[in-house]
Amino acid sequence: MIIHNTAILPGQQATIRIPVGQLPSGNKISIRAHVYRGPDPGPVMLALGGVHGDEINGVEILRRAIHLGYFEQIRRGAVIAIPLLNIYGFINYSRDVPDGKDVNRSFPGNAQGSLASRVARLLTRKILPNIDFGIDFHTGGRNHYNFPQIRFTKGDPKALELATQFGAPFSLSSKPISKSFRKAALDKGKTIIVFEGGENLRYDGVSISTALEGLNRVMAGQGLIDQDAPASRGRILPENEWIRAPKAGMFLWQKCSGQPIVKGEPLGLLNDPFGEEPSTRIYAPRDGFIIGHNNAPVVSPGDALYHIGYGDHDAPVATRRSRKK
């Protein structure tokens, strides 16, 4: 295996710094790829975090995996772990790079294009050809909490296999978004599943521990490590929808992510900030599970309040300690 002119032989480990640019101050920026190669042949897995610079949980998941020696036990194949791809966004507490572009909408990238496109191109050219499959770790966006879940490509048997092995509480099948890393990888015959857990700029212990357990199960299931990882059967939800704010106001949720809901059940309230109008109740449209909710206290018309998943009602129920307001 050769990455950025560095050869990693069977049984070897290496930390490879791949230059991606520099700051206006002149400080050079490099992406660190931690490579762990087992002594025997096998598949190559990518573990990727920080595609969005403010999604701290993904960075922390892989930081812990590296620090705790998760990848030291590789027996077959290899793992390429990149805890932080979008360093520009990370140091600016931002989802995007400084020009406002989203790295995860810039693949496969262009070496002469925008900054986001150049970061994407580096991953496409330097890393993607070396892997067989990968896990891309994300969180919810600003003020939006995602219960730990896997997004996998509909119609891709390998993606379903990986999602099942990961065993997140919820798994959703969907078509990959145009110009996303998952779509660019799929175009090259590589399978990427996406983990979502928590919200931006906040640690979430439930999401981090769930991701580490799932990561270990995938490595065991794919034969990279000699370990019997306890199975965790989650729910595969074939349908999902967003419940949006019908008007502006102050949002107070009454049920949160991870909880089952029943059609017609009250989920939250929209209140007039001046106390002059009656509250507007938000109701569950049908039986399902809350897989994401909005923590913003002030919302505008059309803002996403809840992400609801449907299906697989006979599987074990996901649980999370309620943070009812």
Q: Annotate 7-50 with DSSP letters as a single string.
A: E--TT-EEEEEEEEEE-TTS-EEEEEEEEEE-SEEEEEEEEEE-
Q: Are residues 169 and 305 in the same domain?
A: no
Q: Are residues 12 and 116 in the same domain?
A: yes
Q: Are residues 205 and 261 in the same domain?
A: no
Q: Are residues 275 and 226 in the same domain?
A: no
Query: Looking at the domain assignment, is residue 319 inside a domain?
Result: no
State the Cα–Cα distance between residues 237 and 142, nearest whole angstrom: 24
Q: Are residues 220 and 247 in the same domain?
A: no
CATH of the domain at 270: 2.40.50.100
Cα–Cα distance list, 260 to 46, 136, 253, 316 (Å): 33, 27, 14, 11
State the Cα–Cα distance between residues 290 and 136, nearest whole angstrom: 22
Query: Looking at the domain assignment, is residue 199 inside a domain?
Result: yes
What pLDDT does 269 receive? 97
**Cis peptide leading into residue 24 (ω within 30°):** no
Q: Are residues 281 and 192 in the same domain?
A: no
Query: Looking at the domain assignment, is residue 55 inside a domain?
Result: yes
Q: Are residues 130 and 27 in the same domain?
A: yes
Query: Looking at the domain assignment, is residue 141 inside a domain?
Result: yes
What pLDDT does 157 receive? 97
Q: Are residues 42 and 23 in the same domain?
A: yes
CATH of the domain at 223: 3.40.630.10
pLDDT tens for each residue of the chain, 325 residues long: 999 999 999 999 999 999 999 999 999 999 999 999 999 999 999 999 999 999 999 999 999 999 999 999 999 999 999 999 999 999 999 999 999 999 999 999 999 999 999 999 999 999 999 999 999 999 999 999 999 999 999 999 999 999 999 999 999 999 999 999 999 999 999 999 999 999 999 999 999 999 999 999 999 999 999 988 777 889 999 999 999 999 999 999 999 999 999 999 999 999 999 999 999 999 999 999 999 999 999 999 999 999 999 987 444 433 333 333 3
Opening angle at CA 248, ends 245 and 252, nearest 5:
65
Task: Please name which of 87, 81, 16, 17 lies closest in space to residue 52, comparing C-alpha atoms.
Answer: 87
State the Cα–Cα distance between residues 318 and 234, nearest whole angstrom: 7
Query: Looking at the domain assignment, is residue 325 inside a domain?
Result: no
Query: Looking at the domain assignment, is residue 171 inside a domain?
Result: yes
Cα–Cα distance list, 297 to 131, 144, 223 (Å): 42, 11, 46
Q: Are residues 168 and 306 in the same domain?
A: no
What pLDDT does 130 receive? 98
* Among candidate residues 212, 233, 254, the one where a domain is terminated: 233
What pLDDT does 143 receive? 94
Domain that holds residue 274: 239-310
Query: Looking at the domain assignment, is residue 290 inside a domain?
Result: yes
Question: What pairs with residue 19 in β-bridges?
Answer: 30
Number of domains in the chain: 2
Query: Looking at the domain assignment, is residue 322 inside a domain?
Result: no
What pLDDT does 235 receive? 94
Q: Are residues 103 and 206 in the same domain?
A: yes
Residues in CB range of 155: below 8 A, 6 or more apart:
none
* Among candidate residues 233, 257, 284, the one where a domain is terminated: 233
* Among candidate residues 218, 233, 248, the one where a domain is terminated: 233
What pLDDT does 123 receive? 98
3-state secondary structure string across 269-305:
EEECCCCCCCCEEEECCCCEEEEEEECCCEECCCCEE
Q: Are residues 208 and 170 in the same domain?
A: yes
Q: Are residues 137 and 263 in the same domain?
A: no
